[in-house]
Amino acid sequence: MDRLTALAAALQRGGRRAVAIACDVTREGDAERAVAQAREALGRLDVAVANAGFGVMGGFERLSLDDYRRQFETNVFGVLRTAAAVLPELRKTHGRFVIMGSVAGHSAMPGSSPYAMSKFAVRAFAGSLRHELWPEVAVTLVSPGLVESELHQVDNRGVWHPDAPDAAPAWLRMPAERAARQIVRAVARRRREIVITLHGKALVCLARHAPWLMAALIRGFGLKGRAEARHAGR
């Protein structure tokens, strides 16, 4: 929250209106409160991004049902709570609702079933909601591949470990600033979906048009979902 407050202050110094509001999307009523405060501070809402999420990782036999519930509470029900809170305002402005999905919502890797299930779910929600809200509100699904973020620093219980290393090679990760520019352009153009990164687009294409080849690559190269975040030295 401190970093968001600092960012809001920097935007204000640049002549922009900005406000940072704490919100827990797993808590009933928090999203509605945040929307009301944002509307009061900014006057109207034109774009809302359902971005809160983390990844529960590990093989099925190593996980508990509570791990799956915890994953869905944030990644799926958090999106639903956000949508319920913002859509009345977005209808007034013919705005945009953005759902943060993942390439994992198109192709599930071994060791990532909770995360993949949650992203398949929000992808389905985006597809249905898009028809329900047309033409008043545009719904854009964002499906990133490997992008520089802090997702790998959050463990299966949602605890942040800032020193956790990212197992993905740096050359494969898209800089966050570049990904953000692509997302902004897609939202401005009211696109249905955008897949971020070339490798992400390749995986989605394989999953859609050559699932047999995708399965062969996963088995042949031992592809897996990202590793669970852990304490340094643990």
Amino acid at 193: E
73-88 residue pLDDT tens: 999 999 999 999 999 9
Structure confidence at residue 136 (pLDDT): 96
User: Domains of the chain: which residue ranges?
Assistant: 1-43, 44-221
Residues classed as catalytic: 115
User: How far is 146 from 102, CA to CA, in rounded Å?
Assistant: 9
What three-state secondary structure class fits 18? coil
Q: Could you tell me what percent of the chain has a pLDDT over 70?
A: 94
For domain 44-221, the CATH architecture is 3-Layer(aba) Sandwich (3.40)
Structure tokens at 80: 């639903």
pLDDT confidence bin for 231, thresholds 50/70/90: very low
Tell me the mean pLDDT in the region 98-110. Answer: 95
User: How far is 110 from 173, CA to CA, in rounded Å?
Assistant: 20
Scanning the structure block, which residue is given the tokens 């470990």? 161
Are 129 and 82 spatial neighbours (Cβ–Cβ below 8 Å)? Answer: no
Across the strands, what pairs with 144?
Answer: 196
User: How far is 27 from 70, CA to CA, in rounded Å?
Assistant: 13
Q: Rounded to two decimals, what is the model's pTM?
A: 0.91
Structure confidence at residue 233 (pLDDT): 33
